Amino acid sequence: MDDKKKKLFVPGPVDVRPELLEAFNQPLIPHRSQDASDLQKRISDKLQDVFLADNNQIFLSTSSGIGLMEAAIRCLTDKKAVVFSVGAFGDRWGNIAEFNDVPVDVVEIEWGKAVKPEMVEEYLSTGDYDVFTVQHNETSTGIANPLEEISEISNKYPDVLWLVDAVSAAAGIKAEVANWGIDAYVTSTQKALGLPPGFSMGAFSDKAMERAEEIGHQGRYFDLLTLKKYYDKKPYQYPSTPSILHMYALDKQLDYILDEEGLENRFERHKRLRDMTHEWALDNGFELFAEEGYRSPTVTTVTNNKGLDILEL
């Protein structure tokens, strides 16, 4: 294998800063120790700030983001879910529901287009659903859905829980989880958080946890009630053995985001880099795939209008 460092030109995983990789070299600690509890509490407090989630319940999961997506839709759907899909990862919400025998309707929106508030209203107004899902950012199409606008609709239907996949958005695109009334906001480490894959986290509202209590235990590893039980019984512990090394690196990265770069500066930096990428694409004769006005700050999609051989590229 070539010793030359390989650069990652993919949506994720992303290159990780050396000082964050170095955090993985720290000695392990027992996951039932006070040190582990303190580490988890620090992370949870900082994630509330990054997600603008106020006092929402923060859960960590030694899994990819799909793990907590599965936990959310399986543990929170009592009647029926409606999935608004603008691409491959939006479709995945529906796929997860089907594999867990959760009743679901999938609304497939033309790729390159965003979910509009009126689309959400059309379905929620039927009274058929108690859960709906939206991607904050769709990696496959480069669409950032207008969550703030959708929140105005969601707030009209307080009995319908709102689940958001923020895997390629969190810490790169602003989301006011508490103010917008998002009930489950799920992400993972390998995209805008800039860490290796294998760890995920989410913010869950009080309303979501009340719903989980009504439905009862759903599964084991991804059961929200089991996660909460360990938070309550043994504060800031994890039900099984977590990736302590990911937690070390996440703790360090959250300090950097909040104290060194600054959260708003980070959001603005992603927008500047997006604009630079768009300018390059247009200057070189390419077309942008995503709908204007809804183009992601973290993922740019370019139409292959030149007929390039992508595999050769």
Residue 287 belongs to a domain? yes
> 179-220: per-residue pLDDT in tens?
999 999 999 999 999 999 999 999 999 999 999 999 977 889
Mean pLDDT to the nearest integer, 16-32: 96
Residues 289 and 203 in one domain: no
Mean pLDDT to the nearest integer, 87-96: 96
Residue 1 belongs to a domain? no
Residues 234 and 285 in one domain: no
Mean pLDDT to the nearest integer, 82-93: 96
**Residue with more model confidence, 236 or 82:** 82
Q: How confident is the model at residue 6 (pLDDT cuts 50, 70, 90)?
A: confident
Residue 166 belongs to a domain? yes
Question: Are 296 and 173 within 8 A, CB to CB?
Answer: yes
DSSP 8-state code for residue 193:
T
Question: Are 55 and 185 within 8 A, CB to CB?
Answer: no
Residues 168 and 285 in one domain: no
Question: Are 180 and 203 within 8 A, CB to CB?
Answer: no
Q: How confident is the model at residue 234 (pLDDT cuts 50, 70, 90)?
A: confident
Helix %, strand %, coil % of the chain (to 5): 40, 15, 45
- Please give the sequence-ordered ranges of beta strands (E in DSSP) within 171-214, or none if there are none: 184-188, 200-204
DSSP 8-state code for residue 228:
H
> 120-151: per-residue pLDDT in tens?
999 999 999 999 999 999 999 999 999 999 99
**CATH number for the domain that contains residue 250:** 3.40.640.10
Percent of the chain topping pLDDT 90: 91
User: What DSSP assignment string belongs to 48-108?
Assistant: HHHTT-TTPEEEEESS-HHHHHHHHHHHH-SS-EEEEESSHHHHHHHHHHHHTT--EEEEE
Residues 210 and 243 in one domain: yes
Residues 199 and 86 in one domain: yes
Flag whether pLDDT at 232 surpasses 90. Answer: no
Token code pair at residue 250: 């996440």
Flag whether pLDDT at 3 surpasses 70. Answer: no
Mean pLDDT to the nearest integer, 302-310: 94
Residue 228 belongs to a domain? yes
Q: What is the pLDDT of residue 165?
A: 98
Residue 146 belongs to a domain? yes
Residue 270 belongs to a domain? yes
User: What DSSP assignment string belongs to 230-253?
Assistant: HHHHSTT--SS---HHHHHHHHHH
Expressed as residue numbers, the domain containing 273 is 263-303
As a whole number of angstroms, the distance between CA 196 and CA 23 comes to 11
Q: What is the pLDDT of residue 19?
A: 97
Residues 276 and 240 in one domain: no
3-state class (DSSP) for residue 165: strand
Q: What is the pLDDT of residue 2?
A: 56
Residues 159 and 229 in one domain: yes
Residues 248 and 278 in one domain: no
Residues 254 and 267 in one domain: no
Token code pair at residue 240: 């099984």
Residues 221 and 292 in one domain: no
Taking all residues of the chain, what is their mean pLDDT, rounded to a whole number?
A: 95
Mean pLDDT to the nearest integer, 234-260: 95
Residue 164 belongs to a domain? yes
Its pTM stands at 0.95
Q: How confident is the model at residue 10 (pLDDT cuts 50, 70, 90)?
A: confident
Q: Provide the number of structural domains found in the chain.
A: 2
Residues 94 and 191 in one domain: yes
Residue 312 belongs to a domain? no
Nearest Cα to 149, choosing from 123, 131, 125, 176?
176
Residues 61 and 133 in one domain: yes
